[in-house]
Amino acid sequence: MSNVFYRSRKSYPTAVSASGVFIQDDQGRSYLDGSSGALVANVGHGRTEVAQAMAEQAARLAFVHGSQFSSDVLETYASRLADFLNLPGYRFWAVSGGSEANESAIKLARQYHVERGEPGRFRVVTRVPSYHGASLGALAASGMGARREVYAPLMRPDAWPKLPKPDPSLSGEADAERLRALLEEIGPESVAAFMCEPVVGASDAALAPNAGYHARVAAICREYGVLFIADEVMSGMGRCGEPLSVRLHDPQVTPDLVVLGKGLAAGYAPLAGVMASGQVYDTVMNGSGAFKHGFTYAGHPVSVAAGLSVLDIVGREELVRAARERGAQLLDGLR
């Protein structure tokens, strides 16, 4: 009998090794990892240079608590990541997974408004369908009924207003104006943030709005003093052919908070995080002086070393360009 708490009653094969795009089990069978392990393994399995970078970091400095120390590898990675994403002046809050990262973004948006003297802003507008994570706040933000239903009594319904999903029959600008209508309906002075996946992943089939949507959303959010959170956990880090998918059609769009995960460390270690604008960071640090939130393994040096090595591979092998070209090739083939 196994002592593992499995996710469901199905029978699970036991993976023993992986290389490139293939996973091998203990019965000698080989599986094509066609979804990159839920959009995680974006540089492929078995990259020994990533494992070596992790081992060297573990031997040098395996752990420090983020409430007391930074680390050289975290400082270097945050700078390199900001450059890669073209987010100058942004600050990287490192955590272990996408749910933690979205939870952090939600809390940061709330604290930002409290620091500004607007404690009445507590609502976070999201869309249906959507998926922002498994932790309670991230799940409340999600518009995914099957996963939310059993936990609904634990959530405050009025804190999570929902917009309908992008409508391909509308122009991007007209689609985005539905956000303005909702803000006016519920009272924009009560809204802390609008959170969306630029390309929807888990809850719909690669759904994306038309060009102009994200630029108009960003403008509406600025007009009403609402933070714009782009959840790029699945679609970021080049997977959609640009470092950030929110800029696929609108290259000048700059969200206030960008949530990242999955491909940051390509599955070699748990790593995710939030890129926060200088304005958000300065508001918190010049107010109470601390983000009132944290996780034990936030900024873990070994995980960050994996992320730094993955970023080297993504740049050296031009994987963002490759994703753009292979994506076009795949779409042509499907059509």
288-315 confidence digits (pLDDT tens) = 999 999 999 999 999 999 999 999 999 9
Q: What is the pLDDT of residue 243?
A: 98
C-alpha to C-alpha distance for 124 and 191, rounded to whole angstroms? 6
In a domain, 121, yes or no: yes
Q: Does some domain include residue 16?
A: no
Give the pLDDT band (50/70/90) at residue 1.
confident
- What's the average model confidence in pLDDT over 146-154? 88
Q: Which residue, 17, 35, 43, is CA-closest to 263? A: 43
- The alpha carbon torsion through 232, 234, 239, 242 (nearest 10 deg) reads -10
Phi-psi category of 39—alpha, beta or left, where left has phi over 0 and alpha has psi -120 to 50? left
Going by pLDDT thresholds of 50, 70 and 90, the confidence category of residue 145 is confident
Number of domains comprising the chain: 1
d(CA 234, CA 73): 24
Q: Is the CB of residue 226 less than 8 Å from the CB of residue 193?
A: yes
Residue 48 makes CB contacts below 8 A (sequence gap 6+) with none
> Could you tell me if 264 and 238 are in contact, meaning their C-beta atoms sit under 8 angstroms apart?
no
Nearest to 20 by CA among 7, 4, 36, 5: 36
- For residue 235, the enclosing domain spans 48-308
Is residue 42 situated within a structural domain? no
State how far the Cα of 6 lies from the Cα of 13, in Å rounded to an integer.
12
Q: Apex CA 136: angle with CA 41 and CA 152, to 5°?
A: 125
Mean pLDDT of 190-203: 95
pTM of the model: 0.97
Provide, rounded to the nearest whole percent, the portion of the chain with pLDDT above 70: 100
Q: By CB neighbour count within 10 A (0-12 exposed, 13-18 middle, 19+ buried), where does 180 fall?
A: middle
13 within some domain: no
Q: Is residue 327 part of a domain?
A: no
Would you say residue 115 lies in a domain? yes
Distance of alpha carbon 140 from alpha carbon 283, whole angstroms: 26
Average pLDDT, the chain: 96
The CATH number of whichever domain residue 254 belongs to comes to 3.40.640.10
CB neighbour class for 162 (10 Å; exposed up to 12, middle 13-18, buried from 19): middle
Smallest CA-to-CA distance from 218 within 139, 277, 168 is with: 277
Percent of the chain with pLDDT over 90: 94
In a domain, 126, yes or no: yes
Residue with tokens 């979205």: 102
CA 33 to chain centre: 21
What's the pLDDT score for residue 192?
98
Residue at token pair 């990159």: 36
Structure-derived torsion over alpha carbons of residues 211, 213, 215, 220, reported in degrees to the nearest 10 = 160
Tell me whether residue 147 is in a domain: yes
As a whole number, mean pLDDT of residues 5-17 equals 95
Structure tokens, 327: 């994506």
